[in-house]
Structure 1
Amino acid sequence: MASTGSKLVRQVIKSANAPNPLGPYSQAVKVGPTLYLSGSIGIDPATNEFAGSDVETQTQQAMINLQAVLTEAGMTFKNVVKATILLEDINDFARMNEVYASFLTAPYPARAAFQVAKLPKLAKVEIEMIAADCEDC
């Protein structure tokens, strides 16, 4: 249940098929029809290690992790309305983008991408998303 009367309910979403958080945060939090997914890096939940050392492999695993959390919330990538991508090196954008795009179909979510100084565990990429539980997604 997303709301009671005029008050929204906060629901923590946790998937056993995605890595456990590295700190004091949830994999995702749903408030009303909106799902806020924490940033995901390319950690394989089975090994708790990076799936690979290159940006393509890490992007693929980050997207698989996000997909697991979306599934737990009863959503898919079609529900995603906004993504933010953080890259260790903006020169990896095209390679990341090719993998990222392979998980999505039109209409695509809004998106921003940035190069940052340092990502958790020295990851190559981190992706966070916002999704909406909507009828025509």
Structure 2
Amino acid sequence: MREVISTPDAPSSPFYSQGVKSGGFIHISGLVGVDVNTGKPAGPTIQEQTRQALANCRAVLAAADATLDDVVEVGILLSDPADFAGMNEEYRLWFPSDPPARYAAKLGAVIPDVLISIRMTAYVGEGRSDS
């Protein structure tokens, strides 16, 4: 079974679903650091855009009745790999202990002023810590 997850609290597009729940997994699309209220990047720094991208992912998780504690994997795409350390400054605040599995790579698409895209997979099925 496949359930599309949608919220007005995260960026959206007709070209992708913000999230899809299937079985016990929630797959969050790669979301950028754009503020949905302004439609613009949250700021010029990697820290600001990382914060916003993570907040956008959290909003989609919430729409699926999940939290960051349910996240098992995170994928990070950076426009500039030199931003890796700056991204980690903000990222560690969101996952201070027992962080999920993670990968990072270079963002292939060129999107003006966008520094980061973050995707996540969460597990909310049987054996979940709060079930």
Fold in common (TM above 0.5): yes
Higher-Rg member (1/2): 1
Q: Please give the secondary structure, in 1, of the residue aligned with 2:94.
A: coil
Point out where structure 1 has 5 or more consecutive residues left out of the alignment: 1-8
Q: Which residue number corresponds to residue 136 of structure 1?
A: 129
Q: Segments of 4+ in structure 1 off by > 6 A?
A: none
Q: Give the alignment partner of residue 76 of structure 2, picking from 81, 85, 88.
A: 85
Letter in 1 for 2:4: V
CA-based RMSD = 1.5
2:59 counterpart of 1:68:
yes
My pick for the range that moved more, 54-63 or 115-124, is 115-124
Distance 1:124 1:19 in 2: 15
Q: Give the alignment partner of residue 59 of structure 1, picking from 50, 54, 60.
A: 50
TM-score (norm 1): 0.87
Classify 1:72/1:122 alpha carbon distance in 2 versus 1 (closer, same or farther; 3 Å): same
Distance 1:105 1:13 in 2: 27
Distance 1:11 1:121 in 2: 31
TM-score (norm 2): 0.90
Point out where structure 2 has 5 or more consecutive residues left out of the alignment: none
Shift of residue 119, structure 1, vs aligned partner: 4.0
| C-alpha distance after superposition, 1:67-100 (max 9, x if no partner) | 1001111111111101110011111101101111
2:39 counterpart of 1:48:
yes
Q: Give the alignment partner of residue 118 of structure 1, picking from 109, 113, 127.
A: 109
| C-alpha distance after superposition, 1:4-32 (max 9, x if no partner) | xxxxx1000011111122x4110000001
| C-alpha distance after superposition, 1:86-117 (max 9, x if no partner) | 01111110110111111114221100011234
Q: Which residue number corresponds to residue 11 of structure 1?
A: 3
2:90 counterpart of 1:99:
yes
Across the two proteins, how many residue pairs are aligned to each other? 128
